[in-house]
Amino acid sequence: MNDYLNSLNPRQKEAVLHVNGPLLVFAGAGAGKTKTITARIAHLIANGVEPRSILAITFTNKAAKEMRDRLKLGFEAEKPFVSTFHSLGVFILKENSREIGLTRHFSIFDKSDSQKAVRDILQDFGLDTKQHEPGKFLSIISREKGNLKNVGDFLDSIRGENSTSHHELVGRVWSAYEKRLNEEKALDFDDLLLKTYKLLKNHPEIRERYQKLWQYIHIDEYQDTNQVQYMIAKLLAEKNRNICVVGDIDQNIYSWRGADIKNILNFEKDYPDAKVVLLEENYRSTQNILAVANLIIKKNTNRVEKNLFTKNVEGDKISLYCGFNETEEAHYIANKSKELIEQGIRPSDIAVLYRANFQSRVIEDAFLTKSVPYQVLGTKFFERKEVKDIISFIRAGLNPESLTDIKRIINVPARGIGKVTILKIFSEQRDTLPAGMKVKINQFFALLKKIGDSALDQKPSAVVKFVIQESGIEKELKDGNDEDKERLENMRELATLAVKYDHLPIGEGIEKLLEEAALASDQDSLEKNENAVKLMTVHASKGLEFNYVFITGLEEGLFPHERMNAVKNKEDNEEERRLFYVAVTRARQKIFLTYANSRTIFGSTQMTVPSQFISDIDEQFLESDQTFEHREKIIYLEL
């Protein structure tokens, strides 16, 4: 019965056996935090706690799935609720949709939906979207919502002496964006959290219902919580105070999107009777890798002191390579990856990490040249046009107010319906349309009605197949060229993916499929786990681990990164160091550090200075690897 306890070390067991009251677990990289959380949940259940009264919140779908798998959760009616913060928000808001003026079938704007909405708004204002980037407005809106502010709060805050024309423009854009969301009965990512918080805060009877339901709360990666996530957790735990948070200050790397390190640092102030457990034994990396990680992070002062150790082997030294430029650096990485693969290493056990997305292009070119299989993390299945089209048909069928979805699919396949017609449809001028166009429009909305009925009457996989056939897409693509056939295959793959929700009650399964499509993250593109070298940013690598890791572009200004026109401060410097620590601790067996003497960025070639992180590593842990020399160097010199 207590088998789950036998494999735990003393510190892990201490955390697992603490049943009632607040618990703070500082878990170093690779210290078995997921194992500890799942063992704690198993212990609660073994000691009579009802599974349904346990809540576990993670930050990625991948982490939630891993936790469910470890708990061996099947389709039992009574089981712990394991989800991300956003999925938790969807669950609570759907159960209480009337309180927020929506139906259960409200649409969720994914990032591309939000980007398009803001781009349209800026164009309506007569502004150039190259000069006024939609992403920058969305970043401000997201940050403010994460700090518990809605558009009304923001408009109040900018009235006064400190208001600027930029603040006023943000306020106008945000107001128009909220109007668009309301009209379409839609929420964006940040609303899923902000409206959940407002619901719990302003409706005591709803808050008490969930406090009674979830009596034991677990939150993973607590150092990454922002203000709204912190408040949701605090409200849910307010009554029973059985809250267990797990985190690592040294892996706090998301302050730019609102993560507040104070949440974990102040946990003992929020809960003075909290038990604190420190997990320092690492099960992932070699002794040399951990020695380097400890050296790197000790320079930070805003942290809780800990020292990772392991019983693993000493391992290889850290290889260091300097390329003539970024192209030579990339060819070294591709060549070394090919060597490892030829030695029998699985390509998927190798990762290439970079600080900025633009670095991937030259690395991809080198991998193509060397015929090394690779997969760029972030190429999402749900972002493919044809897949989004099918999803939009279903969303519009369930929510006929969703203008964004209708505009996307009203001409899929082509129906000859133009922008002016669409405007008339949504401004209640359908009667003014020509008779022939009225027929087309009526047929389209009749199709949406059939799809909506199908979604509430059939299993999710059958609904997807129904859309592919009834929409006319299959007929248009099946006799097309190779690209058309590939698009059709991707749509059919969506039907295959939907099968995993077929066991759920009719209606609920399709909701889960739409939720997965909207909330898919970069790491979800690893679901298929292609046997290929993984390329990704360091931020995207958090929570993952690989046998062999290349950390690239280690130059001052790139890694550590310097933002243009930004004033450097201690907090930024410490976060960059934490980011390098995260990169180092992704590796199990071997690390390759690379940099270039010159790099071309935005068309300008600059001489570079090696990153301070390299000089922070004691020479006893480093070995120079200059055995590779790219033969095209002479060409670069001549250019």
CA distance 460 to 481: 28
Q: Sorting pLDDT into bands at 50, 70 and 90, what band is 524? A: low
Q: Sorting pLDDT into bands at 50, 70 and 90, what band is 76? A: low
Stretch 239-254: mean pLDDT, rounded? 94
Q: Sorting pLDDT into bands at 50, 70 and 90, what band is 528? A: low
Determine the pLDDT at residue 2: 65
Task: List the one residue out of 31, 577, 8, 37 whose CA is nearest residue 290.
Answer: 31
Is residue 590 within a helix (H) or strand (E), and if so which, with residue range?
strand 587-601
In contact, 110 and 138? CB cutoff 8 Å? no
In contact, 80 and 43? CB cutoff 8 Å? no
Tokens representing 118 are 């803001």
In contact, 392 and 550? CB cutoff 8 Å? no
Per-residue pLDDT of 26-68, as tens digits, reads 999 999 999 999 999 999 999 999 999 999 999 888 888 888 8
Determine the pLDDT at residue 526: 57
pLDDT at 564 over 60: no
- Average pLDDT over the chain reads 90
Please state whether beta strands 275-279 and 23-27 pair in parallel, antiparallel, or not at all (unpaired): parallel
Strand-pair partners of 600: 605
3-state secondary structure 338-402: HHHHHCCCCHHHEEEEECCHHHHHHHHHHHHHCCCCEEECCCCHHHCHHHHHHHHHHHHHHCCCC
**Among residues of the chain, what percentage have pLDDT more than 70?**
93
Determine the pLDDT at residue 1: 44
For 25, residues 6+ apart whose C-beta sits below 8 A from its C-beta are 15, 33, 36, 244, 245, 246, 247, 276, 277, 278, 279
More confidently predicted of 31 and 638: 31
Task: List the one residue out of 3, 582, 503 whose CA is nearest residue 289.
Answer: 582
Determine the pLDDT at residue 565: 47
Q: Which three-class secondary structure state does DSSP give residue 22? A: coil
**Least confident interval from 304-318, 513-527, 545-559:** 513-527
For residue 413, say if its preceding peptide bond is cis, omega within 30 degrees of 0: yes
Catalytic positions: 33-34, 220-221, 251, 586
Determine the pLDDT at residue 637: 40
Buried b (16+ CB within 10 A) or exposed e, 90-99: bbbbbebeee
Per-residue pLDDT of 450-494, as tens digits, reads 999 999 999 999 999 999 999 999 998 888 888 888 889 889 888
Per-residue pLDDT of 148-183, as tens digits, reads 999 999 988 887 656 678 889 999 999 999 999 999
Q: What are phi and psi of 393, to 5 degrees?
A: -60, -45
Name the maximum alpha-carbon separation found in the chain: 82
pLDDT at 207 over 90: yes
Determine the pLDDT at residue 379: 54
Q: Sorting pLDDT into bands at 50, 70 and 90, what band is 567? A: low
Query: What are the angstrom distances between the C-alpha of 390 and each of 233, 474, 631?
Result: 35, 11, 48
Determine the pLDDT at residue 635: 41
Stretch 200-218: mean pLDDT, rounded? 97
pLDDT at 632 over 60: no
pLDDT at 626 over 80: no
Determine the pLDDT at residue 163: 62
**Least confident interval from 214-218, 255-259, 456-460:** 255-259
Helices within 131-226 (DSSP H only) = 134-146, 151-157, 165-183, 189-202, 204-213
Q: Which three-class secondary structure state does DSSP give residue 209? A: helix
Q: Sorting pLDDT into bands at 50, 70 and 90, what band is 628? A: low
Stretch 2-6: mean pLDDT, rounded? 79
pLDDT at 622 over 60: yes
Determine the pLDDT at residue 489: 86
Task: State CA 192 to chain mean position distance.
Answer: 15
Distance spanning both ends of the chain, measured CA to CA: 70
Verdict on whether the full-model pTM lies above 0.85: yes
Determine the pLDDT at residue 485: 84
Per-residue pLDDT of 103-143, as tens digits, reads 899 999 988 899 999 999 999 999 999 899 999 999 999 99
Determine the pLDDT at residue 547: 98
The conformation of residue 125, written as its DSSP 8-state character, comes to T
Per-residue pLDDT of 275-293, as tens digits, reads 999 999 999 999 999 999 9
Q: What are phi and psi of 90, to 5 degrees?
A: -60, -45
Q: What are phi and psi of 79, to 5 degrees?
A: -155, 160
**Among residues of the chain, what percentage have pLDDT more than 90?**
70
